[in-house]
A = this chain, B = another copy of it.
């Protein structure tokens, strides 16, 4: 392995100069910079990550904790993870992948060993058991999702309360007076995962203001469950004309079920989904939807972390991205 002394010798400078050229932490004359860079390239020099981490107290790695459980659409996780990796690379950082099942111990391990400089935690629940550990950590962390008590923490998420309201208001604005929400599986609400609860809350509150009658139907992520829920809905509330779907996995199945029962979208039923734009565009008919901005969340999470690392000081904050509703073919004005 070629090391910094080799490069220094080859370029006729001091090792520290090579280090400074590489880190840009002090001004170097264009001459020597070039000479050093040439040596770096010809020798194929790669600084040793461990040595660097030891000397600088920075590993240039961030941890990403991904959920494994149900209720979160896998493609959204992947999209988020990809966005985190890509953005981290623009800051010269790498990403260590952790699964949620390591829990608190995993966080303490990677932070305690200085394996990572910072942590991103996906899918944080309202009463997440990792919150105390996260607060006690000596490294910056950003949570995707907002716990009930976010004090001392940095959180970011889509504003699901506003998203619920936006969906309802869109339907109400189109004249719909009876609207149903087809949502996540019951266990997601029980577990108190913030996003499902918040969306339902915003949905209900807006309904109250608009004097729209609403009902909620949790739904497991299977075709059979989707079909059953649609049948139950149509039997129990035959006068419902608007539906909000907050469960990416079953969107297609719900649409098929409506078609099967002879309900045309949007002629008989208007549908709004909360899902990635890509999915909304591919559906037939294309879906009016509130986007799940996985890319933006990932990018923002990384940027906030890098900001904290650069400043060296921690400021608690929670950022809620405003929902963006895009009108497509699945919603229409209620006639008659």
Residue A335 is within 8 A (CB to CB) of chain B in the complex:
no
Q: How distant is the Cα of A109 from the Cα of B94 in the complex, in angstroms? A: 11
Interface residues of A in 64-119 (CB under 8 A from B): 64, 68, 74-75, 77-78, 81-82, 85-86, 89, 94-99, 101-102, 108-110, 112-115
Copies in the complex: 2
Residue A252 is within 8 A (CB to CB) of chain B in the complex:
yes
Q: How distant is the Cα of A334 from the Cα of B77 in the complex, in angstroms? A: 43
Interface residues of A in 24-83 (CB under 8 A from B): 44, 46-54, 59, 61, 64, 68, 74-75, 77-78, 81-82
Q: How distant is the Cα of A217 from the Cα of B246 in the complex, in angstroms? A: 34
Partner of A115, one of B1, B49, B78, B81: B49
Residue A282 is within 8 A (CB to CB) of chain B in the complex:
yes
**In the complex, what residues of B have CB within 8 A of residue A1's CB?**
114
Let me know if B99 and A82 touch, CB within 8 A.
yes
Q: How distant is the Cα of A81 from the Cα of B66 in the complex, in angstroms? A: 11
Q: How distant is the Cα of A113 from the Cα of B3 in the complex, in angstroms? A: 10
Chain A contact patch, size range? 35 or more
Residue A169 is within 8 A (CB to CB) of chain B in the complex:
no
Partner of A114, one of B49, B99, B109: B49
Partner of A284, one of B51, B59, B114, B224: B224
**In the complex, what residues of B have CB within 8 A of residue A99's CB?**
82, 85-86
Let me know if A113 and B48 touch, CB within 8 A.
yes
Let me know if A78 and B74 touch, CB within 8 A.
yes
Let me know if B114 and A85 touch, CB within 8 A.
no
Residue A256 is within 8 A (CB to CB) of chain B in the complex:
yes
Chain B's nearest CB lies how many Å from the CB of A181? 24
Interface flags, A174-209, vs B, CB<8A=1, else 0: 000000000000000000000000000000000000
Do A85 and B97 form a contact, CB below 8 Å, given A50-B50, A78-B77? yes
Residue A277 is within 8 A (CB to CB) of chain B in the complex:
no
Chain B's nearest CB lies how many Å from the CB of A49? 4
**In the complex, what residues of B have CB within 8 A of residue A268's CB?**
none
- Shortest 5 CB-CB distances between A and B: which pairs? A50-B53, A46-B112, A50-B54, A49-B115, A49-B113
Measuring CB to CB, which residues of chain A are less than 8 angstroms from any residue of chain B? 1, 44, 46-54, 59, 61, 64, 68, 74-75, 77-78, 81-82, 85-86, 89, 94-99, 101-102, 108-110, 112-115, 222-224, 252, 256, 282-284
